[in-house]
């Protein structure tokens, strides 16, 4: 199921959030070796995990994390050098930053692919519902071509130091009503089972 968790629903979705923060620690700190803060030795939590953060979490039946991303309504200072390009047309709607996109390492490749696809459509649906016309973010440079080839309109903005690891690339993804069809044509499978959205 897809959970959309913000400040008003955090207490209700504490199981999914704890599972997400634990998965982020395993992926970003243990596997990728990024220099990020760790809470109680188990959870990757930083200063931007505050009241302004919204989380999209693909969760299993018991609330366990399968995939997630954090959405922030203001781009970080690390993306400041690209300010003109972030807001340049054509774009309808506001800009939001997507950070800490994470797939749980506990599942087989096919299950991770399904969770990733569900998360991508969840992000697009979230953007369309909230009039977000562009997502921006910083990703490891080897990931940038894969993200660009997912069918949507994606541009590389340039190299950036995001404070977590070297070789990061700033990207911008435009979202509009045609984006779901673009993802489908690129082979990103829309989930067929209805999930629960909490917002």
What's the pLDDT tens digit per position in 44-89? 999 999 999 999 999 998 889 999 999 999 999 889 899 999 999 8
Report helix, strand or coil for 16.
Answer: helix
Is position 78 within any domain? yes
Task: Output the CA–CA distances (angstroms, integers) from residue 22 to 25, 65, 134, 163, in the order listed.
Answer: 5, 9, 28, 20
Counting the structural domains of the chain, the total is 1
Where is 133: in which H helix or E strand? Answer: strand 132-140
Domain that holds residue 132: 2-185
Average pLDDT over the chain, rounded to an integer: 91
Cβ distance 98 to 137 under 8 Å? yes
156 exposure class (CB count in 10 Å sphere: 0-12, 13-18, 19+): middle
Is position 77 within any domain? yes
Is position 162 within any domain? yes
The two tokens of residue 48 are 């931007």
Is position 53 within any domain? yes
Is position 193 within any domain? no
Is position 136 within any domain? yes
pLDDT beyond 50 at 132: yes
Is position 190 within any domain? no
Say what the pLDDT of residue 63 is: 87
pLDDT beyond 80 at 162: no
Q: What is the CATH number of the domain that holds 45?
A: 3.40.630.30
Is position 197 within any domain? no
Cβ distance 152 to 182 under 8 Å? yes
Measured CA to CA, the distance from residue 153 to residue 155 in angstroms comes to 7
Q: Quick one: residue 33, left, alpha or beta (phi over 0 = left, psi -120 to 50 = alpha)?
A: left
In this prediction, residue 166 has a pLDDT band, given cuts at 50, 70 and 90, of: low
pLDDT beyond 70 at 104: yes
In this prediction, residue 127 has a pLDDT band, given cuts at 50, 70 and 90, of: very high
Say what the pLDDT of residue 198 is: 43
């Amino acid at each position: 199921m897809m959970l959309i968790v913000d400040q008003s629903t955090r207490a209700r979705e504490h199981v999914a959030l704890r599972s997400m923060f634990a998965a982020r620690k395993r992926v970003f700190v243990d596997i990728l070796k990024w220099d990020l803060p760790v809470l109680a030795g188990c959870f990757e939590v930083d200063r931007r995990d505050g009241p302004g953060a919204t989380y999209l979490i693909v969760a299993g039946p018991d609330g366990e994390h399968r995939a997630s991303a954090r959405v922030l309504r203001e781009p970080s200072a690390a993306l400041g050098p690209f300010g003109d390009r972030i807001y340049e047309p054509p774009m309808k709607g506001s800009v939001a930053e997507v950070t800490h996109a994470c797939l749980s390492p506990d599942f087989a490749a096919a299950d991770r692919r399904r969770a990733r696809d569900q998360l991508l459509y969840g992000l697009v649906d979230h953007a369309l519902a909230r009039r977000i016309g562009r997502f921006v973010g910083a990703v490891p440079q080897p990931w940038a071509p894969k993200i660009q080839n997912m069918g949507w309109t994606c541009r590389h903005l340039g190299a950036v130091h995001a404070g977590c690891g070297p070789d990061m690339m700033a990207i911008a993804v435009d979202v509009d009503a045609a984006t779901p069809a673009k993802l489908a044509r690129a082979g990103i499978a829309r989930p067929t089972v209805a999930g629960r959205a909490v917002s």
